[in-house]
Amino acid sequence: MSNATVHNITDEGSDITLRRRSDSVEDQSTDKGINSDEEINIPKIGSTQRKERKKVLIIYVGGVLGMEYSTDGSFFIRQGMLTNRLMNDADFMTDDMPQITVNEWVPAILSSNMSTSEWVRLAEEITDAYYDYDGFVVVHGTDTMAYTATALSFMLESLGKPIIFTGSCIPFCDVHSDARRNLIVSLDYACVDYLCEVCIFFNNTLLRANRATKHNTGSLNAFESFNYPPLGVLGVHLKLKRSLLLPTPKTRFRLHTKMDKNVLQLRLTPGFSDRLIQNALQPPCRGVVLQIYGAGQYPDKQNLWSILNSAASHGVIVVLISQCHVGYVDFANNWEFNSLKHTNLVQGGDMTSEAACTKLAYLLALGLPFFEVKKLMRTDLRGELNTDAAKDVIDSLSLHRSSFMKDDDMPSMVNKQVLYEQQVDVPEEFVLPDSVASLSLKTKLID
């Protein structure tokens, strides 16, 4: 296993810490009668509203943010570069910033090389430091950031502190880099007392991690949450939509260190061979996420569905999600699915492919019976899945787009506008059934 270099950035008289949220936001909502459904302005850096500094752990896994340019213009990682940058950047060395500890992975991991082993390592590192810090910022490459962040949202059960994933498209060393702002704002959100989930902050939006996906390789706005609005937005003020956040957990924090690797994702393509799917579903495959057309359209190929049902009858979980970014798959509202309602196939609703795959890997590793995994795949565990009541909001999105959109340049803005106008209720905390709690799992408990 790789090592990590730990740096406590604590020059005398110039610790790195963020302001305390409980002394500002909480007091506003209590003393001034602010409704929890309203947007809350997070005090800016330099504000005197914070009375006590927070402690934040920055974990540099890898990615462009911590890279430098070589003489030929390519990127390379210089060990300790990020720590040196923070120590010599006045924005990070003021008394208004949080007390920061930087753990740099040695060697750093490219985003494309991340695997379940690295997910476990990262989750364990956060768990080991859980009581020592108020929040965590994970610097990660963008290509698989949504997968890692989503996986951690499932592995870290009953999370009571913010974990903010961020990175950049341009290295920190570049004069017009997006790294500095992404990191500063991520630190800010990492100090919010009532933010108890894994998030991604990029460009100017804070997204729930298991709702986010990387959708643009050539823009600083690289991530989007198509079926759930941003939790926070950076504008003139740093805002947080409290009604959209997950509730504070009522059970003990628990780390799950097992993820089943035998999960496959497939995307239907017109004219594909059924035999390819049949071969892919052979052992050791235990679960497959199948992206089908539109709201649930599928080819009229009886052999295909016979193959899928046969795999399911042998214990392979088959989850159906849409190839579209916006919307959801639902058996009940699609007449073509009537014949599939009572099969062993699982509707994935509006989950992202990242959420469907990592959730399935997490549940299969719990050792649950087949029917329980099916049930939990349809259950909102960490805010990754809209409830039935929220699906009307997604339906209304299509109406707004067809009525008011003249082109497809800004579909995500319409999505956010509609969802803000019709607030989605945050689901109650989900508690695993006794059959899950009684399993002898490889977990770590935080009392």
For 309-329, the pLDDT digits (tens) are 899 999 999 999 999 999 888
Is residue 11 very low, low, confident or very high in pLDDT (cuts 50, 70, 90)?
A: very low
Say which residue, 407 or 153, is predicted with more confidence: 153
Check the annotation: does 111 bind a ligand: yes
**First CA to last CA distance, the chain:** 27
Check the annotation: does 17 bind a ligand: no
Q: At what angle do helices 353-365 and 145-155 cross, to 10 degrees?
A: 40
Under 8 Å between Cβ of 319 and 290: yes
The pLDDT assigned to 148 comes to: 98
Active site members: 142
The pLDDT assigned to 255 comes to: 98
Check the annotation: does 127 bind a ligand: no
Q: Report cis status (omega within 30 of 0) of the bond before 270.
A: no
Beta carbons within 10 angstroms of residue 78's beta carbon: 13
Beta carbons within 10 angstroms of residue 2's beta carbon: 10
325-345 mean pLDDT: 68
Is residue 109 very low, low, confident or very high in pLDDT (cuts 50, 70, 90)?
A: very high
How far is it, in rounded angstroms, from Cα 176 to Cα 164? 22
Does residue 446 surpass a pLDDT of 50?
no
Say which residue, 220 or 33, is predicted with more confidence: 220
How far is it, in rounded angstroms, from Cα 439 to Cα 430? 17
Does residue 43 surpass a pLDDT of 90?
no
Q: For a pLDDT cut of 70, what percent of the chain falls above it?
A: 72
How far is it, in rounded angstroms, from Cα 77 to Cα 105? 11
The pLDDT assigned to 332 comes to: 66
7-16 mean pLDDT: 44
For 194-226, the pLDDT digits (tens) are 999 999 999 999 999 999 999 988 788 889 999
For 346-379, the pLDDT digits (tens) are 989 999 999 999 999 999 999 999 999 999 999 9
10-39 mean pLDDT: 40
Q: At what angle do helices 116-128 and 145-155 cross, to 10 degrees?
A: 50
Question: Burial of 276 by CB count in 10 Å (0-12 exposed, 13-18 middle, 19+ buried)?
Answer: exposed
The single-letter DSSP state of residue 429 is: P
The pLDDT assigned to 3 comes to: 65
